[in-house]
Structure 1
Amino acid sequence: MGLFTSCATDGKKAKGHTKVTANGDTVVVEEEKEDTTRQPIDTAKYNALVRKLANGDSTGKWPVKKQPYPLDGAILPFKRIVVYYGNLYSKKMGALGEYAPKEMLAKLDAEVKRWEKADPSTPVQPGLHYIAVVAAGDPGKAGKYRTRMPFKQIDSVMTISRMRKNMIVFLDIQVALGTIRDELPQLEQYLKLPNVHLGIDPEFSMKDGSLPGRKIGTYDAADINYCSDYLANLVKKYNLPPKVFVVHRFTKKMVTNSQNIKLRPEVQVVMHMDGWGEPELKKGTYRHFIYSEPVQFTGFKLFYKNDLKKAPNRLMTPEELLKLKPAPIYIQYQ
Structure 2
Amino acid sequence: MRSATRPVSPSVGTADVSAARSASMVTAMSVTGHGNRPTVLTLMAAACALLVVGASVGFTSSTDDAREPVRRGASPFATPAKALDVVPASSPVGSALGTSRRLYRSAPVVVVAPSADPAAQGLAARAAEQLRAPMLLDGPDTAEEIARLQARRVLAVGAVRKLSDSVAVGATSSAVDAAVESARRAHRVPSPQANDVIVLTRSVTANLAAVTTARNAGATVLPVPDADPRSAPRAAQVLRDRPRTPVIALGTPFARSLGYTLSVVRDGATQPGGGYLLFRNRHLVALYGHPGSAALGVLGEQGVTKSVRRAKVVASRYARYTDRPVVPTFELIATIASAGAGRDKDYSAEASVKTLRPWVDAARKAGMYVILDLQPGRSDFLKQAKRYRSLLREPHVGLALDPEWRLKKEQKPLQQIGSVSIGEVNRTSDWLARLTRKYRLPQKAFVLHQFSTSMIRNRSRLVTTHPELATVVHVDGQGTQGEKMGTWKAIRRGLPDGVAFGWKNFYDEDKPIRSPRKTWAVRPRPDLITYQ
Q: What TM-score do you get using the length of structure 2 for normalisation?
A: 0.48
Q: Which amino acid in 2 is paired with 1:95? A: V
Q: Does the alignment pair 1:173 with 2:173? A: no
Mapped to 2, the partners of 1:2 and 1:249 lie a distance apart of 24
Q: Which residue of 2 aligns with 1:89?
A: 292
User: Which protein has the larger Cα radius of gyration, Structure 1 or Structure 2?
Assistant: 2
Which aligned segments of 4 or more residues in structure 1 are displaced greater than 4 angstroms?
1-4, 68-72
What corresponds to 1:123 in structure 2? 325
Whichever structure has more helix as a proportion of its residues is 2
Q: Which moved more, 1:196-205 or 1:322-331?
A: 322-331
Q: Which moves more between the two structures, 176-185 or 238-247?
A: 176-185
Q: Does the aligned pair in 2 maintain the 1:3–1:89 contact within 8 Å?
A: no
- RMSD over equivalenced CA pairs, Å: 2.5
Matched, 1:324 2:522: yes
Corresponding position: 1:305 with 2:508 = yes
Equivalences for 1:1-334 in 2 at 5 Å?
40-43=229-232, 71=261, 73-118=276-321, 120-164=322-366, 166-263=367-464, 264-294=466-496, 296-307=499-510, 313-334=511-532
Matched residue type, 2:278: I
Do the aligned partners of 2:357 and 2:391 also contact (CA within 8 Å) in 1?
no
Residue identity opposite 1:168 in structure 2: Y
Would the aligned equivalents of 2:311 and 2:330 in 1 still touch at CA under 8 Å?
no
- 2:433 touches 2:469 (CA, 8 Å); kept in 1? yes
Stretches of structure 2 that go unaligned for 5 or more consecutive residues are 1-10, 15-227, 235-256, 265-275
Alignment gaps of 5+ in structure 1: 5-38, 46-67, 308-312
After superposition, the Cα gap between the structure-2 partners of 1:291 and 1:299, relative to the gap in structure 1 and judged at 3 Å, is: farther
The answer to which of 80-89 and 284-293 deviates more is 284-293
Greater relative CO, 1 or 2 (CA 8 Å, sep 6+) = 1
Q: Any idea what the Cα deviations from partners look like across 1:60-116, whole Å, max 9, x if unmatched?
A: xxxxxxxx9994521113210111110013111111111233433332222111111
Contact 2:304 2:359 (C-alpha < 8 Å) held by counterparts: no
Aligned residue in 2 for 1:35: none
TM-score (norm 1): 0.75
Moved more, 297-306 or 320-329: 320-329
- Whole-angstrom CA distance in 1 between matches of 2:458 and 2:233: 31
Once the two structures are superposed, what CA deviation does each residue of 1:226-268 show, in whole Å capped at 9, x if it has no partner? Answer: 1110111011110111111111000010111111011211111
Give the distance between the partners of 1:282 and 1:44, measured in 2 at CA. 37
1:284 to 1:2, Cα distance in 2 relative to 1, 3 A: closer
Conservation of the 8 A alpha-carbon contact between 2:504 and 2:531: yes
Question: Could you tell me how far apart the structure 2 residues matched to 1:81 and 1:293 are?
Answer: 21
Identity rate of aligned residues, in percent? 28
Between 78-87 and 150-159, the greater mean CA deviation after superposition:
150-159
